[in-house]
Structure 1
Amino acid sequence: MTFVTDPFQADFMLRALVGGVLVAVLCAVAGTRVVIRGMAFLGEALAHGMLPGVALATLLGVPVLLGAAVSAVGMTVGISMLQRRGRLSYDTSIGLLFVGMLALGVIVISHSGSFATDATTILFGDVLAITSADILALAVAATAGVLVAVLAHRSLVAAAFDPRVAETLGLRPRLAHVVLVGLVTLAVVASYQAVGSLLVVGLLLAPAVAAGQWSHRIPIIMLLAALFGAGAVFAGLLLSWHAGTAAGASIAAVAIALAASSWSLRAATRTARPVAPTDVVAPAAV
């Protein structure tokens, strides 16, 4: 067992594991809703759309999380405005702002004098540099995310499957949509500084996709997604330690591999349902 346990004797690896598991829990809560609603593009856009705020915060010497939060909120408001006033579709609005924010962020970074290093850190983060303060912040964010998901469960479910019925029942689907976007923003912003935008997207989507192969109940999917995400963090850190690969990229790759393996295994074990004989209906007497 030394192959498995030895890496986590190092304090920085243990902190990376704890922080990564907290990210997995938070992303499982938000990611399950994102996958169910078919809003994966929003999660990716928010993760990469934070680039201008992060770059400006770095240059100005202010907290990176503050810059990320301002940028993410600005992008969310911009998407809403383009939909309502520009009469654009949801995907088109996200696509336009995503590219615009990403381009703006790259322009800002290119003036910092360390484009390659900064871009790598922004994309992959540095999960091995997670501190005790980061773990505390992630624990608070994960707790808040779980509470929001529990309290808004009925509204989010109704809005996901039939907004008109949700409106009739007084469950306020528009507010549920705002809550969902806020939940995704919380997951992306809280996890960004610790693990980077690429790993956030990987843990937001892949574990939820893997879990969705085994259950149709949302709470069960969330629980399985958290377990899959935690497993990806553990296996990715082991791979990074023994193979000398980048930790963040290794975790993201394992998460995607788990999703692919889960889908393949489910497809292989799903047996074809027997077709019942067609009932022959006698013609009515004339």
Structure 2
Amino acid sequence: MEWLTAPFEVAFVQRALWAGILVSAICALAGTWVVLRGMAFLGDAMSHGLLPGVAVAALLGGNLLVGAVVSAAVMTAGVTALGRTPRLSQDTGIGLLFVGMLSLGVIVVSRSQSFAVDLTGFLFGDVLAVRESDLLLLGVALLLALAVSVLGHRAFLALAFDERKARTLGLRPRPAHAVLLGLLALAIVASFHIVGTLLVLGLLIAPPAAALPWARGVRGVMVLAAALGATATFGGLLLSWHLSTAAGATVSALAVSLFFLSHLASGFRHRRRARRAALPVRAATVTAHAPTTRPNET
């Protein structure tokens, strides 16, 4: 048991665990809609689109979180505006914004003397350097994400499965889509300094995708995804402590591993149910084709 509990007796690992649990809950609220709507590429683009704001903030000695918020707002507005262009597909617009924002960020960061350190911290984060003030910010972000998810649940649900029906019901899919982008941006901004923008997708996409085959309803996916994310955080920190590996990368890698294990188990369950369902059919077929015996004629 000491192997299991020893790492979490250290204060900075305890803070990292709480930060990972809060991030997992935030990412579960936003990531469920990302998975249901097939918006993984958008999530990737938005996470990397934070780089210009973070780079400018670092170069000027300002608050990195403020810079990330500004970049997230620009990306959200850009994706929303390009989505209304009829001659341009949404993927094309997202790809152009992705490349443009990332290139601008690298150009700005290259002007700094600590280019490698800044870029590494942005991409991979530092979950073991979480402070109590970071936990407070994550708590506020979780409450805000929860409020948006509750108030916009009906519109998000209709938007995810039938945009035309959402319009018919008067749910205004375009504003709902913009709010959903804001929720996604909130999750990424709140998480990037914990696990980094390159690894935040591990907690944003893998737990909801792993929960999808097992949960009933969208709320069930969110709850199970948060639990899987917390499990990945605990296991990742534990493995990182004993194996001396990067903590954020280990957490994200474990989250992705849980996804593959979930779908392997789901496939096994599906095949087992299919075999059980086939047994009565086979028995009925054998009975129908069995030869009928008649008494001997005398």
| Range of TM-score over shorter length | over 0.9
Matches of 2:119 and 2:168, distance apart in 1: 47
Deviation digits for residues 106-162 of structure 1 (CA, Å, limit 9, x no counterpart): 111112122221111111100000000000000110111112111111111011111
Matches of 1:137 and 1:266, distance apart in 2: 36
Which amino acid in structure 2 is aligned with residue 7 of structure 1? P
SS at match of 2:47: helix
SS at match of 2:198: helix
Deviation at 1:85, TM superposition (A): 4.3
Deviation digits for residues 198-227 of structure 1 (CA, Å, limit 9, x no counterpart): 232110000011001212410000000000
1:40 correspondence with 2:40: yes
1:139 correspondence with 2:135: no
SS at match of 1:220: helix
Deviation digits for residues 218-268 of structure 1 (CA, Å, limit 9, x no counterpart): 000000000000001000000110000000110110011011111111111
What is the aligned partner in structure 2 of residue 242 from structure 1? 242
Matches of 1:18 and 1:77, distance apart in 2: 32
What is the aligned partner in structure 2 of residue 7 from structure 1? 7
Matches of 1:215 and 1:188, distance apart in 2: 24
Matches of 1:74 and 1:189, distance apart in 2: 13
**Aligned residue pair count:** 278
What is the aligned partner in structure 2 of residue 79 from structure 1? 79
Which blocks of at least 5 consecutive residues in structure 2 are unaligned? 283-298
Give the alignment of 1:171-190 within 5 angstroms.
Answer: 171-190=171-190
Deviation at 1:82, TM superposition (A): 2.8
Matches of 1:133 and 1:20, distance apart in 2: 14
Matches of 2:93 and 2:274, distance apart in 1: 41
Which blocks of at least 5 consecutive residues in structure 1 are unaligned? 278-286
What is the aligned partner in structure 1 of residue 63 from structure 2? 63
Could you state the TM-score of these two structures normalised by the residue count of structure 2?
A: 0.90
For the 8 Å contact 1:122–1:196, the answer to whether it is kept is yes
Which amino acid in structure 1 is aligned with residue 82 of structure 2? L
Deviation at 1:195, TM superposition (A): 2.3
- Matched residues, percent identical? 56
Matches of 1:198 and 1:20, distance apart in 2: 16
Could you state the TM-score of these two structures normalised by the residue count of structure 1?
A: 0.93
> Over the residues paired in the alignment, what is the CA RMSD in angstroms?
1.6
Higher Rg of the two aligned structures: 2
Matches of 1:86 and 1:217, distance apart in 2: 33
